[in-house]
Amino acid sequence: MAIRDFNNPMGLLQQAGLGINNNPTGSLGLNISPTFDARAKQAEEDEAKRKRAEQSLKLQNFADTLRMVNANKSGNTQGVALYSNRLANRRAEEQARLKEIEQKQEQAEFMSIPKQVQRSSYNNNQEYYRAIGQKYIDEGYLDQGLKFLEIGKPTTPKDFTSIILSEGNKIEKQYSPVKNNVLNFQKLDTALNSDSGTGAYTALVFYLKNLDGSVVKSEEVNTFQEMQGFLKNIEQTYEKTRGAGMTDEVKAQLRNISAEATRLTVKGYNDFLDGSRVKYNALGLDPNIIYAGYLIDTSGINLGQVEPSYFEEEIEFTEKK
């Protein structure tokens, strides 16, 4: 059975060389075997063996390739088939070998995760299990992380309160820059509608400098990079036409790309919240309590694309708090 399909997280700790005495008093009960030197030596020997096998395989393939070429020149179809099959079989064996190595590396990485969390850094086993669970989730092993979070559930009102406050602080760190991003977009929108030059350009620069990347994904990063390139073009255009100000076409471009960046940033934040619900449920916590005061409301903000005619309308700006 694959290690990652375990049903007993405590068994995983023992397989990783960490014997944990799981009791409500939170005693350490650690028994870490000094096997790192032996493992390092074994890894060195395995690497040397791998290099020898790889070199041998290259020589065999080279020899059979030459034989196949010669057999083809002499019209020896059986020889061609023989050497061709040898090469194909070796390729299949090599692919299987590489796949096995990859699986072993993944398993070794998986097994090393609990060792990256120091038990001495936590007051009790519950805190320790929660830290391991979070580490597994951070490394992409959601199912295993949730199992550790479940056995690390808080057991006292004090623990519940402490975790809610701690998680609330984590949410706030993600929430604050996103909220500021939305407010800055609203200011930019207002500036574009009320000013045809300096104010709009200044608002754009301010918006870009405050576009936070704490919760963005690849599409948000790409949009941000696109905005940076677009800003350079706008800067050049603005310097050339400083007296005339921005045209409605330029302002529409500015607003549209800024609106898309804001929309993606808010989406990234909401995805972050949705993903964290599973974690809080595993801990026996109500996500809505933790999210209270940290939700982004864009229902009254137009984050869609607009035409140049949009700037013929007057928009009254009201900053949401």
- Judge whether residue 303 has pLDDT over 70: yes
pLDDT tens per residue across span 163-218? 899 889 989 999 998 998 898 888 888 888 775 556 666 666 666 666 544 444 44
Cα–Cα distance for residue pair 204/184, rounded to 1 Å: 9
Q: If you average pLDDT over residues 8-12, what whole number do you get? A: 52
Predicted confidence at residue 296, as pLDDT, reads: 93
Q: Residue 6's pLDDT band (boundaries 50, 70, 90)?
A: very low
Contact of 134 with 149, CB cutoff 8 Å? yes
C-beta atoms surrounding 47 within 10 Å? 10
* Cα torsion through 39, 93, 52, 71, rounded to 10: 180
pLDDT tens per residue across span 204-230? 666 666 654 444 444 554 555 555 565
| Lookup result for tokens 């918006």 | 207
Query: CB-hemisphere CA count at 13 Å for 289?
Result: 12
Predicted confidence at residue 134, as pLDDT, reads: 87
Predicted confidence at residue 214, as pLDDT, reads: 41
Average confidence score pLDDT of the chain? 76
Q: Burial of 44 by CB count in 10 Å (0-12 exposed, 13-18 middle, 19+ buried)?
A: exposed
- Judge whether residue 66 has pLDDT over 60: yes
Least confident of 27-41, 114-128, 240-254: 27-41
Predicted confidence at residue 172, as pLDDT, reads: 93
Contact of 199 with 191, CB cutoff 8 Å? yes
Q: How far apart are the first and last CA of the chain?
A: 53
Question: Is the overall model pTM greater than 0.75, yes or no?
Answer: no
- Judge whether residue 137 has pLDDT over 50: yes
Furthest-apart CA atoms within the chain: distance in Å: 87
Contact of 282 with 150, CB cutoff 8 Å? yes
Q: Residue 262's pLDDT band (boundaries 50, 70, 90)?
A: confident
Nearest to 158 by CA among 124, 120, 134: 124
3-class secondary-structure state, position 5 = helix
Predicted confidence at residue 229, as pLDDT, reads: 62
- Judge whether residue 56 has pLDDT over 90: no
- Judge whether residue 17 has pLDDT over 70: no
Predicted confidence at residue 142, as pLDDT, reads: 84
What are the φ/ψ torsions at residue 152 (nearest 5 degrees)?
-105, 20
- Judge whether residue 273 has pLDDT over 70: yes
Distance of alpha carbon 3 from the chain centroid: 23
Query: How long, in residues, is the chain?
Result: 321
Contact of 321 with 207, CB cutoff 8 Å? no
